[in-house]
Structure 1
Amino acid sequence: MKKFTILMSVAVLALSSGAASAAEKIRIATEGAYAPFNFVADDGSLQGFDVDIAKALCEKMKADCEIVKQEWDGMIPGLLAKKFDAIAASMSITAERKQKIDFSKKYYNTPAVIVARKDAKIAVDANGNPTDKGMKGLKIGVQRSTIHENYARAHFKDAEIVVYDSADNANLDLVNGRIDARMDDILALQEGVLKTEGGDDFKIFGKGFVGGELGEGVGIGVRKEDTKLRDAFSKAIQEIRADGTYKKINDKYFSFDAYGD
């Protein structure tokens, strides 16, 4: 009986050890359609600021990570269904999302802006940003289930909010005149509209929006029960900020510190 008990204990320890090893393999989802944060390169690989940050965090955590592609609409459902373990896809930390999942500390925070043709008749307020009245009657393109959709619906009630499955499709309709304006992250619109062919015909209206429906910045999304993984990501974010890794990645994509205030 004693021998049997010892054998059972060894077996349990072996299984526990195996589970721990398996847990070190972390699957991280990104969209692959939101340049410069995440996109699919010509060779089919996932690239971008989100991807590089995720890889740097995994290196600090000494974790074996795999970056996988996931459509935006399925991000949170996929995480909850355990298709992957974390989200690194420019997902902002909001009260609404925190009801379903948890987040690491932020790893960047940039403003949302309105982009339209330079000759668009868009009025701005005393703070220099477009007003509800100034956007009245205009078609504003946003990506579905984003902070930008939530903000546009809350603040531009006299405009028509047109929802898209991807930022790329929304940008295409803006350039082709099927919508009047786009609301999105400033860096995403610079890359997706202003720096593209014909982008000289467009401009940013206003100084940009932060806070409220736009959240507290972008973090790594995890399941609520995965507190150790959340804390490991948060610690690694602090470490790459401190040792210069973050700055090296940041400067590869941006001319200013995307981390924000």
Structure 2
Amino acid sequence: MKRRIVVGFSASLAIATLLGCASTPQATTETPTEATSEPSEVLRVGSEGDYPPFSQQNPDGTLSGFDIDIANALCEKMQVKCEFVVNEWPTIIPSLNAGKYDVIISSMSINDERRQQVLFTQPYYKSGYAFIAPKDVTFELTEAGLADKTICVFKNSIGNPWIEQTSPQAQLLQYDDTQTLRTDFFAGRCDAAFDTKLSMQGILDAEGGEDYHFVGEELKEPIFGEGAGIAVRKDDQALADRLNQAIDELYTDGTFQEINNKYFPFYIGAK
């Protein structure tokens, strides 16, 4: 994987924070601190919070993961304080546009359909899509190869149309969260799972994942989007500009590479 930090960034965020978060379940993580006073501006960051290794909730209620580290690094560059808000994936865009938070930093793939609802920054990382299945299972990524398969996928994933177009006979079991998908996949309720290669790697790395493997090649067709971007509301161009500048800084000073190496044995950068 939209807030209004335009001219009135500080004031609008302060008011929105007071009015919009009373009933919102939130998880916060510590933003890296320096020997200076804490930033007065707050950036409310929407996160699925259940998409390891990108975001996950810890026992103490805080969040951790690649996207969380990226968000905190961006907040540091922008000299604002990150405040994380957990939201289920199916309603993550409507909740942004309703003012529940200011941005979505949650591995959201950029595509034309989503551009009709939100404004995206430049991509901050890129990943193709891939299938995983039990190690004794293999199949071709063709209409015939997928026709008799039941496939675990995430609801509203931009990868789902590829399956529907490639093999309309395939059955998709759609899930709201990673934990439920992983549980059903490991229980054999589907023949394969399909999403970004990075999220599928997260399932293989989980306990029990050693009995599963990637099937076929990583898919990088245009239908899978341009990479993961940060989403803001469509009228928040000033905020998008600030985020784009901060993303550039993460690449130029090596911060992105450090975060990348913490989570992945291969480079996923967009630059």
Matched, 1:61 2:78: yes
Q: TM-score, normalised by structure 2?
A: 0.83
Q: Aligned to 2:93, what secondary structure does the other structure show?
A: helix
* Cα distance, 1:255 vs structure 2: 1.3
* Cα distance, 1:202 vs structure 2: 1.2
Higher mean displacement: 131-140 or 114-123:
114-123
Aligned residue type for 1:72:
W
* Cα distance, 1:184 vs structure 2: 1.0
Aligned-CA RMSD value: 1.8
Q: Aligned to 1:145, what secondary structure does the other structure show?
A: coil
Asked which structure has the greater CA Rg, the reply is 1
Q: Aligned to 1:258, what secondary structure does the other structure show?
A: coil
Higher mean displacement: 92-101 or 18-27:
18-27
Q: 1:218 aligns with which of 218, 228, 245?
A: 228
Aligned residue type for 1:49:
F
Cα distance in 1 for residues equivalent to 2:198 and 2:82: 26
* Cα distance, 1:119 vs structure 2: 2.0
Structure 2: which 5+ runs fail to align?
1-7, 16-40
Corresponding residue of 1:144: 155
Cα distance in 2 for residues equivalent to 1:114 and 1:55: 31
How high is the sequence identity, in percent, across the aligned residues? 39
Can you list the C-alpha shifts for 1:158-217, whole angstroms capped at 9, x where unaligned? 21111111122112111111110100111211222x223332221101121123221000
Structure 1 pair 18–208 and aligned structure 2 pair: CA distance change class (3 A): closer
Matched, 1:26 2:39: no
Corresponding residue of 1:39: 56
User: Greater helix percent: which structure?
Assistant: 1
Kept in 2, the 8 Å contact 1:149–1:163? The answer is no
Corresponding residue of 2:133: 116
Cα distance in 2 for residues equivalent to 1:235 and 1:18: 18
How many residues end up aligned between the 2 structures?
Answer: 239
Aligned residue type for 1:178:
R
* Cα distance, 1:260 vs structure 2: 4.3
Aligned residue type for 1:237:
I
Kept in 1, the 8 Å contact 2:128–2:197? The answer is yes
Q: TM-score, normalised by structure 1?
A: 0.86
Cα distance in 2 for residues equivalent to 1:19 and 1:119: 58
Corresponding residue of 2:99: 82
Matched, 1:179 2:190: yes
* Cα distance, 1:65 vs structure 2: 2.2
Aligned residue type for 1:255:
P
* Cα distance, 1:73 vs structure 2: 1.1
Kept in 2, the 8 Å contact 1:80–1:223? The answer is yes
Corresponding residue of 2:122: 105
Kept in 1, the 8 Å contact 2:153–2:160? The answer is yes
Kept in 2, the 8 Å contact 1:54–1:88? The answer is yes
Structure 1 pair 197–17 and aligned structure 2 pair: CA distance change class (3 A): closer
Cα distance in 1 for residues equivalent to 2:130 and 2:14: 42
Structure 1: which 5+ runs fail to align?
1-15, 124-129
Kept in 1, the 8 Å contact 2:138–2:215? The answer is no
Corresponding residue of 2:5: none
Kept in 2, the 8 Å contact 1:152–1:183? The answer is no
